Amino acid sequence: MTRLFNLDFQLLFDSVLLAIAVFFLFLIMSKLLFNPARKLLADRQEKIRSDIASAAGDKEEAEKLRAQYEEKLKNVDKETEAILSEARQKALKNEAKIIADAKEEAAAIIARANEEAALEKKRVADEMKQEMISIAAMMAGKVVAANIDTTIQDSLVEDTLKEMGEATWQN
């Protein structure tokens, strides 16, 4: 037999056999080791992609929440002003009510004082009438007791009027 590239037949047979063994070993290793490793890497890549997508979604949601927060901060000043304005209006209404109540109470006090003054005036006038009646009765008793004439009676009336005073008599 001829030698090919200075190779003998046994060496060529061993080389082919070794190549076939390496090929089958590669197929077996591919099934047992490479495919699970590829699957592990593919799963890991998918997990990383889902984590990145989830992070992007969380970032968008956080951005929306931040925008809502900023909007609420802008509206806080408006709400505060509205609450303060409402409180001022209530205070003004309460002030007006308190003043109106005070005026009503003052008017009631003045009315009671006027009524009391009128009652006191009436009482004094009644006392004055009672006194005038008693004086007239005393005068009548003196006239009857003395049995005097009209000139003496006129002088007694004049004296009585002077004692009482003209201002009192005319009221």
- Tell me the pLDDT tens digit for each residue of 61-74: 999 999 998 888 88
- In the chain, % of residues over pLDDT 90: 47
Cα–Cα distance, 98 to 109 (Å, whole number): 16
C-alpha pair distances (Å), 160 with each of 39, 148, 167: 140, 16, 13
Token look-up 């006194």 returns: 131
The model's pLDDT over 78-115, given as tens digits with 9 standing for 90+, comes to 888 889 999 999 999 999 999 999 999 999 999 999 99
The model's pLDDT over 112-130, given as tens digits with 9 standing for 90+, comes to 999 999 999 999 988 888 8
pLDDT interval class at 1 (50, 70, 90): very low
**Selection from 20, 39, 41, 14 nearest residue 28 by Cα:** 20
CB 160, CB 139: distance < 8 Å:
yes
pLDDT interval class at 147 (50, 70, 90): low
